[in-house]
Amino acid sequence: MSEAPVTESELQAYADGRLDDARRSAVDAWLAAHPDEAERVADYRRLAGALRGAYDPLLEEALPERLAHALRPRLQWKRHAAAAAWLVVGIAIGGIAGWQLHAARPGAAPLGDVGEVMARRAAIAHAVYSPEVRHPVEVGADQEAHLVAWLSKRLGAPVRAPKLEELGYSLVGGRLLPGDNGPVAHFMYQRNQGTRITLYVRTEATSNRETAFRYAKEGQVQVFYWVDRKLGYALSSGDISRDDLFKVANAVYQQLNP
Amino acid sequence: MNEAQRLVELIPRLRRYARALVGDRATADDLVQDTLERAWAKLHLYRRGTDLRAWLFTVMHNVHVNRVRASRPTDLLEDEMPELAQRASQGDALLVRDLDRAIARLPTEQRAVLLLVTLEEMSYEEVARALNVPIGTVMSRLSRAREKLRVMMLGQSAAAKLKLVK
């Protein structure tokens, strides 16, 4: 036994990815010295993944009539209204927030407003695609070279999918989206627990501009966005903290500007 | 957004949890329907501003416990852990069936903890509140449920190895 006694509860929390950095490192070290326990924890993670894989598809299914109508006598609306309402609320909040920001900064550069539009579109794209279980992307990470070449061609500018493994995120893949200035590249990343972030990349009408990171929140989705010469970027998450998202945004920026 | 709208949004999550909890689709949707009706009838007891999802899962838990009690003596298999076939890689349908069978062999209260943590990704505190048990109980149930599931899904080899370690 080393100087870090590890409890059974901590092993469970470790398997669930819920320890803070300090304790996670301690458990890592302990598991390195206890391979049987390490295997046990790895099995727990595999089983958790199997459970999610087995039952998560239920989230995507259309509701059977009797459940869709379970609350119908009291609710005058249709089955898919919930999802739509969420987006409408998000857009409305975004609109109000954007309007207030605008009102608060009458002298702001026009680019700021354009950026807000981009952040809003990125947040909506995140809300639409990140919950997808079966079809989260058009082209998967297994064809990354093809994905990047295709999106670069469509955007008319070289885009890259940054590597975020060091932060625990692996590339799921990407898709092409319509945007205000033309095609948009949309990359999705995922952490082992299933947390997803998306990177929205579009071409800028006015090149040779650079902005600092800006932050926006649209409904549940947080966005850091910035413009770097020809390309505008917006990084979105619905799950992680603002600080964590900022770390990822920094990593993305640094990789794209070595 | 009002509570009724949020209730509707939570239905798919109730279905996922119920499906894993009871093992078959029709029974699961019965449970969801009972839960929705009860939640609707008791909505005045929900305190605004608190976590509606946790409240709803508490309602579902109570409905489930009552249904199980009313139907048949259960958990007879609690200490039996026959090995299921080691064929987790043979396809989704088989895997789901094996998981259903393994989960069915867990005591109800362990099953609930495991599924709320794994599928709903509730914090341990949220699970403790939803099931109205101390957090220590949540942790010990989680630990036991996982170990049983591991032995059942991954076979006797894991169990044998484990005994050697202890």
Instruction: Give the chain B residue whose CA is nearest to the CA of A59.
Output: B12
Is B123 found in the same domain as B53?
no
pLDDT of residue B4: 76
Residue A78, chain B, CB below 8 Å: the answer is: no
Is B165 found in the same domain as B87?
yes
Find out whether B135 and B124 touch, Cβ atoms under 8 Å: yes
Q: Do A75 and B4 touch (CB under 8 A)?
A: yes
Please give the mean pLDDT across all residues of chain A.
80
Find out whether B86 and B40 touch, Cβ atoms under 8 Å: no
Q: Do B11 and A15 touch (CB under 8 A)?
A: no
Q: Scanning the structure block, which residue is given the tokens 């009972």?
A: B34
Question: What residues form DSSP beta bridges with A218?
Answer: A221
Tell me, what CATH number does B68's domain have? Answer: 1.10.1740.10
Q: Which of A207-216, A228-237, B28-37 has the lowest mean pLDDT?
A: A207-216
Is B67 found in the same domain as B112?
no
A/B interface, count of CB pairs below 8 Å: 109
Using a CB-CB cut-off of 8 Å, the residues of chain A touching B146 are 12, 15, 44, 47
> In the numeric block, which tokens belong to residue A187?
């990359």
pLDDT at B95 exceeding the cut of 70 = yes
Instruction: Give the chain B residue whose CA is nearest to the CA of A67.
Output: B33
pLDDT of residue B21: 93
Is B87 found in the same domain as B53?
no
pLDDT of residue B49: 78
Rounded Cα distance between A200 and A193, Å, is 22
Is B61 found in the same domain as B101?
no
Find out whether A189 and A170 touch, Cβ atoms under 8 Å: yes
Please state the ipTM of this predicted complex.
0.82
| Band of pLDDT at residue B50, cut at 50, 70 and 90 | confident
| Band of pLDDT at residue B93, cut at 50, 70 and 90 | low
> In the numeric block, which tokens belong to residue A91?
């857009």
Architecture of domain A81-256: 2-Layer Sandwich (3.30)
Residue A50, chain B, CB below 8 Å: the answer is: yes
Tell me, what CATH number does B94's domain have? Answer: 1.10.10.10
Contacts of B159 (CB under 8 A, 6+ apart): B81, B151
CA dist list (Å): A134 to A17, A207, B4, B9, B99:
24, 37, 28, 20, 20
CA dist list (Å): A83 to A108, A112, A124:
34, 29, 12
Going from N- to C-terminal start, the domains of chain A cover 8-59, 81-256
Please give the mean pLDDT across all residues of chain B.
81
Instruction: Give the chain A residue whose CA is nearest to the CA of B154.
Output: A43
Containing domain of residue B119, as a range? 82-166
- What percent of chain B stands above pLDDT 70? 78
Is B56 found in the same domain as B20?
yes
What is the residue-wise DSSP string for B79-148?
Answer: T--PPPPS-GGG-HHHHHHHHHHHHHTS-HHHHHHHHHHHTS---HHHHHHHHTS-HHHHHHHHHHHHHH
> In the numeric block, which tokens belong to residue A248?
């990822």
Nearest residue to B28 via CA among A61, A226, A154: A61
pLDDT in tens, A162-177: 999 999 999 999 999 9
Cα first-last separation, chain B:
53
Is B130 found in the same domain as B109?
yes
Q: Which of B48, B74, B100 is the last residue of a domain?
A: B74
Residue A62, chain B, CB below 8 Å: the answer is: no
Is B145 found in the same domain as B66?
no
pLDDT in tens, A32-85: 999 999 999 999 999 999 899 889 988 988 888 778 776 644 443 333 445 555
| Band of pLDDT at residue B136, cut at 50, 70 and 90 | very high
> In the numeric block, which tokens belong to residue B149?
């599931």
Is B166 found in the same domain as B86?
yes
Measured in degrees and rounded to the nearest 5, phi and psi for residue B110 equal -70, -40
Q: Do B29 and A67 touch (CB under 8 A)?
A: yes
For chain B, the residue count is: 166
The pTM of this model reads 0.52
Find out whether B53 and B13 touch, Cβ atoms under 8 Å: yes
Q: Which of B74, B101, B133 is the last residue of a domain?
A: B74
Q: Which one-letter DSSP state was computed for residue A210?
A: B
pLDDT of residue A108: 33
Is B67 found in the same domain as B4?
yes
Q: Given strand A139-140, what is the order of strands in its sheet?
A: A139-140, A170-179, A182-190, A196-203, A231-237, A221-228, A214-218
Gyration radius of chain B over CA positions:
17
Is B107 found in the same domain as B59?
no
Is B99 found in the same domain as B44?
no
Q: Which of B74, B97, B119 is the last residue of a domain?
A: B74
Domain count, chain B: 2
Instruction: Give the chain B residue whose CA is nearest to the CA of A43.
Output: B150
Torsion of CA A174, A176, A178, A183, to 10 degrees: 110
pLDDT of residue A99: 40
Rounded Cα distance between A98 and A218, Å, is 10
Chain B nearest-CA distance from A79, in A, is: 9
Q: Which residues of B touch A (CB under 8 A)?
A: 1, 4-5, 7-9, 11-13, 15-16, 19-20, 29, 32-33, 36-37, 40, 88, 92, 95-96, 99, 114-115, 117-119, 121, 123-124, 139, 142-143, 146-147, 149-150, 153-154, 158, 161-162, 165
